[in-house]
Amino acid sequence: MSDVLEQELRAALAEHAAAMHADDAAERLQRIDYRAGSRWRHLRITSRLPPWPALGAAAAALIAAIFAFVVLLSSGTTAAYAGWSAVPTTPSAPALAAAKASCKRVGGPLFTRAVTGRLVLTDERGRYIAELFTSGIDVGICITNDKGGGGSVGGDAMVLGFYAAPGPDQLGLSGGGGGSAPGFADAGSPTDSAGAGSSAGVEIHRYGRAGSDIAAVTFVFSDGSTVDATVENGWYFAWWPNLNQPASVRATTRSGLTLSSQMPSASCRPGSGACSLFAGFQAHPALPVGTGTSPRPRPGVPTPTTPTATTPPPTAPTATAPASTSPTQGRATGGGRS
């Protein structure tokens, strides 16, 4: 019996392993810069991107190098993201200065390169402050906590051409990725880092250009929970302390109109039917919101219309921003920034 089971087990494992499409993954992994000392790591963007060959020569002209990195400072506790909030606030000047100093100390040259440009957005969530910098074609992101000690830098270089300015009521679902909190980034041998500190957390962030008429952006998850983004200077940014991918994004215009769009699948590849939104990013840098599904109708809340980018509504409906809840904390909040 055992022999039969073991034989069957070997066959089943071999069959299942063979079913994995490892070639694409291997190709992506072989393109990565693994140079020792490189700290462009820990963003999982590479495995979510369309394959390079899919970018045509014409598109290449539009391609810009965008560098994103995340600096996460260790709290040294298990609750690496304790105090995170689904609704952003505006950081105080001293807190912002401290965050910037922490980013500079931890990020070193990487940070310096990314922040030679303009600070376009600050996003405070509880004890965490995120900053988004743009420098021509570069985007830099730094997330710090209020402890300001220790930490690591992660990131990948990415090359995209997504950053054309969107129309007034458009939203560019441009960038995003995930990062790993410190405490394990520089783990040593497989044994000496086992469970050490267990301070590792994870995060997903999303950012992009927001049209001039966009006042608020909210990511909606499959369980109905939401995370409000910060919207400033024509950019939006949000992050959350887990690896959940949002199901849709909702934008509210300054006139109160709510627009929504499904998020592209994390595994989308250009050209496949189910991933037309993602493929659309290639040809149309600014994604018109409203091409996806509408938010779920709620009792007492009129269903908002979803106009196309080319035909903005002449009048704005009075859709009330639905309650927002954290996917991890269950907080009820209003949309926008407090």
For 2, counting Cβ atoms within 10 Å of its Cβ (0-12 exposed, 13-18 middle, 19+ buried), the class is exposed
Residues 159-198: x/- map of binding to another protein (CB under 8 A)? -------------------------x--x-xxx-xxx---
Nearer to another protein, 21 or 330 (CB): 21
Contact between 3 and another protein per CB under 8 A: no
Number of other CB atoms surrounding residue 302 within 10 Å: 12
Residues 123, 228: Cα–Cα separation, whole Å = 10
Contact between 274 and another protein per CB under 8 A: no
Tokens (6 digits) for 308: 């196309």
DSSP string, 96-140: HHHHHHHHHHHHHHHHHHHTTSEEEEEEEETTEEEEEEEETTEEE
Cβ within 8 Å of residue 243, ≥6 positions away: 178, 202, 204
Determine the interface stretch with another protein among 26-34, 51-59, 110-118, 209-217 (rule: CB under 8 A): 26-34
Please tell me the count of residues contacting another protein according to CB under 8 A.
51
Determine the interface stretch with another protein among 29-37, 86-94, 116-124, 283-291 (rule: CB under 8 A): 29-37
In the chain, the amino acid numbered 22 is A
Contact between 247 and another protein per CB under 8 A: no
Tokens (6 digits) for 71: 């600096």
Q: Residue 330 Cβ, how far from another protein at the closest point, in Å?
A: 15
Residues 180, 241: Cα–Cα separation, whole Å = 10
Residues 203-242: x/- map of binding to another protein (CB under 8 A)? ---------------------------------------x
Determine the interface stretch with another protein among 23-31, 68-76, 90-98, 298-306 (rule: CB under 8 A): 23-31
Q: Residue 266 Cβ, how far from another protein at the closest point, in Å?
A: 7
Contact between 65 and another protein per CB under 8 A: no
Determine the interface stretch with another protein among 27-35, 67-75, 135-143, 270-278 (rule: CB under 8 A): 27-35
Continuous segment of H or E residues that includes residue 279:
helix 276-283
Determine the interface stretch with another protein among 30-38, 68-76, 126-134, 304-312 (rule: CB under 8 A): 30-38
Pairing type for strands 202-209 and 235-240 reads antiparallel
> Which member of 62, 95, 266, 316 binds another protein (CB under 8 A)?
266
Residues 261, 294: Cα–Cα separation, whole Å = 7
Cβ within 8 Å of residue 76, ≥6 positions away: 147, 150, 183, 197, 199
Nearer to another protein, 6 or 303 (CB): 6
Tell which residue, 135, 144, 142, has the closest CA to residue 66.
Answer: 135
Nearer to another protein, 83 or 167 (CB): 83
Q: Residue 185 Cβ, how far from another protein at the closest point, in Å?
A: 9
Q: Residue 106 Cβ, how far from another protein at the closest point, in Å?
A: 18
For 273, counting Cβ atoms within 10 Å of its Cβ (0-12 exposed, 13-18 middle, 19+ buried), the class is exposed
Task: Give the interface with another protein as residue ranges (CB under 8 A).
Answer: 1-2, 4-6, 8-18, 20-22, 25-26, 28-38, 41-42, 44, 46-47, 184, 187, 189-191, 193-195, 200, 202, 242-243, 266-267
